[in-house]
Every structure is written in structure tokens, then in C-alpha cells.
Amino acid sequence: MTQTQFNQKNKIRNGIVILLSIISLIICIAVLFPQIRQMIVHLVEHIEYKKAGTYQSWFNTFLSYAMGGICFILPFDYCILTDSGKALVQKVKQEIKDCLSEVDFRSFLKPVLLLSGVYLLGILTIIRANFLYIDDIARTEGGTRGWYHWSRYISDFSSIFVHADTRLTDISPVPQLLAILILSISSVLLVYVIANKKITPVRLLASIPLGLSPYFLACLSFKFDAPYMALSILASIVPFLFIARKKAFLFCSVVSLLVMCMTYQAASGIYLMVAVIHCFQDWNSRKKSSKEILFFLGIVALSFCFVIVVFKFFLMISVDWYASTAIFPLPHIISGTLNNIKNYFLLINHDWGIIWKMGIALVMLFFIIRSVYQSEQKRLLSFFGSILVIGLSFVLSFGVYSLLENPLYAPRAMFGFGVFLSILCVYVVSGYKKLATVVVLALNWCLFVFAFSYGNALADQERYAEFRIGLLLHDLSSLYPNRNSGDMTFQLKNTIDYTPTIKNIAMHYPVIESLVPKKLGKEVHGVFWGSTVYYLEYFGYGSYNNDVSYDSDCDYDSLNLPVVLDSYYHTIKSDGSHVLIILKH
């Protein structure tokens, strides 16, 4: 074969590879990207019903996604077809191998076991409570996964392996134990990254807020979601194992951040917080020049922005139910973001008890003192720099939620604050000052103790809710023993109260009222589907799909229904087809 024939054959082969890669990526885009599937379905619907004036908009949408597909195709082909691309791939692979070879993973075994024991003990009462927490009610009853609708594709897919089936069943506490293991690894890696690869028992205990902050206790209360929420934290920390080599760090950051986005987006600020504290340490100790630090921050910003853009336009499914995925328009982005941060701060200030807030204030004070005392910079500059780091990290702890028009302020969406505290605590105890160490461990002991109170509070509220549900269903079954479920719908008004135990805890720790669901009444973001599934399906009185009215325009209280039963705990009004249940505290 002549050189000319060889070149021609090579060109044909490359052309076939390019064509097949384009076809494969188009198929992947059509199959994997939810927006594309929705667009195709809606386009077919529009064609079927011949709705005019829509083809241009659908064409524009298709064009935008086609451009996105090209953005994936070009780097893919560059890496597999060009010599420089292949060399880049080999370089990244080698850098990853070099970084991994420098880490003594065996040294992580004992720290992981230690923290696993601590976290397990911390959530022991939560596991014992056996509480169906919000989404757990519908998942247990229906067996559906449903994370896909929130763009949590890895959570949706991973649950098949965790539950050994495409249909979910309650296998608790296995998911919570898996979450504990993931959290333990995350804490060890956080200490490893922040404390200059030096892992000690004190530093490990200082990282406890990462998993046992009141907000992440809500995540650990979920029997199905817990491991994937924990995985989002781990994915945000893993890239910093490769920080010594730029290409490996960039690649691993992109991959890990994509994992974070497709497990639980509330962790979106953790990666940035770790990057900020790492840069501050390098700057404050003069280990790196300002140019090197700025270059590293550029890589961090590039990785984060690239992933967020890719997720936003090609992976994310828009949500506008009780929270929104819409970002503020450019003219209002500053004022809107500042307002979200203010609300975030006010909510934390309301939730956390005075003892906790005093401990946090002392930890921040020791953070500033240690930064100034050990600084290689000018003292005044280090003082203001440490304050800036605290403020910036606090803002980043809310992640991209601060940019949303209608962010979620539920406890499970605010666990970034616990990671923020964990970073500060690990940094402070790394200074080896006894007083600072005592303050940090005392704060973490308070959080540890609260976890026990919280788990017991769940069990107490569960007993009370079942008592109230039993009374209500007894009265309903007496009034309508032979009802036709298709001819009768229910509405709930008000909620049941908290138990005296929870009210007692709330006097000093108001966050307990945000964490514990009342489990009977209109309470879950204005929708009572979770409670309704529980009191209808679980107690065999009917099907919530047919028995509950969600029509906000149809308020049964305005129908002037006659009272058919009035008791100490509730009033029931009905005309035979509409049933209004007014709960009393």
C-alpha cells in the first residue's frame, strides 16, 4: 500500500469515526437530556393538534440544543482524533495516577471507622424512631424513585443498585448507614485537604458539623434520599485530592461537580468554600505567590461555571412548584441575591439557639486570631482577609440557591452551613491552642447532643400523629362506612400541634420545629399530599389519588358545609360528597 493510499484510508476511517460520534452523541442527547425528550413530545403534540405559531419557537429550541451538542462533539473528536488531543488525554491520565499514588489511602481506614462510629451514634435515635420523613411516605407506598424529575439522575440510577430493584422498598437503615460511610469519608478528606494532609483525632472530631449539623440531620432522616445527599458533599471535596496538578484538578473538578449537580444541588457551594479556604491558607502563609493563587482561582471558577452552564442548559429540568430554578434577571440579580442572603442569615439566626450562636461566634473569633497570629502577611491585612474569608464562605454555603428567584429554605437545602462550620472548626483546631480546641469540641458536643434530642422528638411526634390519625379515621369510618371513593373528596384545614417534648426543645433550639414534620395537616410547602397518603393509604381508608382535592380555587370552607361531627380534636363538615376536616390543636 502506497503512502497516498494509506492517507486516503486514514481519512476515510477518521470520517467514519466523526460521523459515528456525531450520530452517537445526537442519540445520547435525545435519550439522556430531559429537555430534548420533552421538546420532541411537545412538538409531536403540537403537530397532532395543529397549533399554529409554535414551529418557529420549537425550531429555535432545537437549534440551541443542536449548538450545545456541537459543543460536546468538538472536544470529544479533538481528544480521540488529533495527536495533540490524544496527548492531552494521556497527560491527564498520568497526572491523575501521580496524584493518587501520592495519597496513602490505607491511612484513611482508621479515621473513617472512627467517624463512622461517631456519626452512627449521633443518628441512633433517628434510626430508632423509624419515622417516614416527608418524601419517604410516598416512596414507601408507591415504590417510585422520582429523583429524575429534580435532575438528580445519579440518585435515580444509583437507587436501583442500592435497593436491588427498579421499584423502591423500605430497606432502612441501610441507606442511612451508607450515608454515614460517605459522610465519614467526606470528613476525613476535608481534614486531609485543609489540615495539610495531617489527620488527628481532634481534627476529625472538629469536622462533625459536616454531618451532624441540624440541617443535615434532616437529610439523614430520609430513608431513601440520605446516601445521595451525602454523596453530593463527597463529590465536592474529592477534586482537591488532585490539587497538585492543574490538568487533573480541572478534569476531576468538572466530573465531580457534575456528580454533585446530579445528586443534590444544595451542595453547590461546598467546592467553592474549600477552594476559598485553601487559597487563603496559601496566601496567608506565603506558600504561593498571588499570581499562582489567582491562576488556581481561575481554574476553580472555570470548572464551576462550565458545569453550572452545562447543567442549566442541557441537564436540568425546570421546576416552579414550591421552589424555582429560575435565576434573577440581570437588572435584579444583585438586589435579589442580597435579599436571598439576608433571608438565609435571618433564618439561621432564628433556627440556632443562643448557646450555639455563642460557640459559632467564638470559633469565628479564634479563626481570625489564628490567621493573624500565624500570618506571614501584614497583620492588619491578614485581619481583614480572615473576615473576608468568613463572610465569603458564609455566602457560598448557600450555593447557587442565592441566585434563584424563589430558593428553597427548607433545612435540607441549607446543610452547606454545617460544612462552613466544619471548615472553620478544622482550621481553628489545627493551630494547637487548647482554649480554641475546647471551644470547638464544646460546640460540636452540643450539636451531637441535639441529634439525640431530635431523633427522640421524631418518635414522640410520630406517636402523637398516629393517635390523632386513628381518632380521625375512626370518626370518618363511622360517618361513611360504605362510601364510594369516586364520589367523595377531602380537604384538611389547619394542622395538629407539636408535642410538649418538641415545644420544650424549641424554647432553646427553634430549628426543631423546622425539622420535625407534624404529619397531619396542610404543612409540606402548602401541600398536604404526604400526610394524606399516610392517613388514607397506610390506614386502609382509601386512595389519595381519588380522595383528595388539590383545587386551590375550590375552598371547601367557603361551601358552608353542615357540621356532621364536632369533637375535642377535630370538626368534620360534609354534604355527602365534599368533606372538610378542621383540625384542632
pLDDT tens-digit map of 150-159: 788 889 889 9
447 is a domain residue? no
Find the length of the chain.
Answer: 585
**Same domain, yes or no: 144 and 9:** no
134 touches 514 (CB < 8 A): no
**Same domain, yes or no: 139 and 266:** yes
Domain carrying residue 59? 3-81
Q: Please give the pLDDT value at position 149.
A: 76
**Last residue of some domain: 381, 397, 432?**
432
* Cis peptide preceding 173, ω within 30 of 0: yes
**Same domain, yes or no: 198 and 58:** no
Q: Within 13 Å and on the Cβ side, how many CA atoms surround 112?
A: 14
Question: What DSSP character marks residue 315?
Answer: I
CA distances from 545 to 331, 415, 485, 548 (A): 43, 33, 10, 7
Q: Please give the pLDDT value at position 579.
A: 84
Which parts of 50-200 fold into alpha helices (H)?
A: 55-81, 83-101, 109-122, 124-129, 135-142, 153-162, 174-194
Regions of the chain with pLDDT less than 50: 30-32, 41, 43-61, 63-64, 524-529, 550-551
- Phi/psi of residue 489, each to 5°? -125, 155
354 CB-near residues (< 8 Å, 6+ apart): 508
192 is a domain residue? yes
**Same domain, yes or no: 236 and 285:** yes
Kindly report, residue by residue over 418-455, the tens digit of the pLDDT: 999 999 999 999 876 788 999 999 999 999 999 999 99
**Last residue of some domain: 387, 413, 432?**
432
454 is a domain residue? no
| Distance between CA atoms of residues 351 and 331, nearest Å | 32
Q: Please give the pLDDT value at position 143.
A: 84
State the pTM of this model: 0.87
Q: Please give the pLDDT value at position 462.
A: 92
**Same domain, yes or no: 58 and 107:** no
**Same domain, yes or no: 42 and 110:** no
